[in-house]
Amino acid sequence: MDLDVFVTAHRAEWERLDRLLHRGRRLTGAGGGELVGLYQRAATHLSLVQSSAPDPVLTARLTQLVARARATVTGVRRAGWRDAVRFLTEGFPAAVYRARRWWVPTALVSVLLTVVMGWWIGHHPDVQAALGAPDALRQMTRPGGEYETYYSSHPEASFAAQVWTNNAEAAGMCLVLGAFLCVPVLWILFTNVLNLAVGVGLMSSAGRLDTFLGLVLPHGLLELTAVFVAAGTGLRLGWTVIDPGPLPRRTALAQEGRAALGMAVGLALVLFVSGAIEGFVTPSGLPAWARISVGILAELAFLAYVYVLGGRAARAGETGDVETSGRSAAPPVGA
């Protein structure tokens, strides 16, 4: 394509579109129709330039022109309370529900590995010796040791904030790194499983597994579920790169990526709840059964939220993706 001839042939249309955009809301019905037609043609011109003669200056000019025209045609929509309510009652739970075939197996396999590795560590002194000196391990597992004082060594509010930050970072990494063919997500999962299995193994070998579970379960049920959801979603995102299904790979990845970003916001709220439980309930003076009951209730509430609200929204067609007007659509084809 001869770029100079192309620019000469279509410059008048671009300038006319620019003038219409400056008029904005003062356009008449006929002017609005003309603007839409010119917008479609400019988008087509941009696609042709990008595929045939990618001149950076012309591409930048047409990209800016098309973006302004699109904003004028579709309108700029501001998020409000209705959007937040819709996200919390439909978008987020539906996204988690749709990803259940990924995060439920992830959770089951991770729990199974934790049990097996914890049993291995707890029944093999040579493995324990490889983890640390016997005196150091006894200091960790004795009554009032590090495993117990960890939850009460800081003020409740600051500890809850620290826990929330760490867990949100782990969940965010699972969601973001999933696009790299699943491997980073599997490594993050393995690290979490190993840390938990070490605690299970060492405390069981010291005959204090009940104490350990009484400290972990109140917040750990909801916390680990959120991490498993993030990991499962990250794995699904990575698999989309490998097998996008019937959609073009770019389209499928964009759709799953937008849903994953929305899920990151929702999981941050879930982890905020688990962090509050870990900061205020776990180190409290409540008996173990009461603390564990709080964790079970929080977990059941989240599962009901996902399977009742999320299932209903998913069956109604909700995917967790942003609304159509907020997506980066492919350039429209003009006549």
pLDDT digits (tens, 9 = 90+) for 264-285: 888 888 988 988 888 888 888 8
What is the pTM assigned to this prediction? 0.69
248-to-136, 253, 254, 255, 257 alpha-carbon distances in Å? 55, 8, 10, 11, 14
Measured CA to CA, the distance from residue 249 to residue 242 in angstroms comes to 9
Least confident of 169-183, 242-256, 276-290, 320-334: 320-334
Q: What is the pLDDT of residues 193-214, one digit of tens each?
A: 898 899 899 999 989 898 888 8
Judged against a pLDDT cut of 50, whether residue 171 lies above it is answered with yes
Q: Where are the domains of the chain?
A: 3-76, 82-325
Q: Other C-beta atoms within 10 Å of 335: how many?
A: 6
Kindly report, residue by residue over 66-92, the tens digit of the pLDDT: 888 887 766 555 556 787 888 889 889
Q: Is the pLDDT of residue 25 over 70?
A: no
Q: Which residue has the higher pLDDT, 334 or 209?
A: 209
Give the side-chain half-sphere CA count within 13 A for 15. 6
| Rounded Cα distance, 48 and 66, in Å | 13
d(C-alpha 243, C-alpha 249), whole Å:
8
Nearest alpha carbon to residue 47 among 331, 329, 335: 331
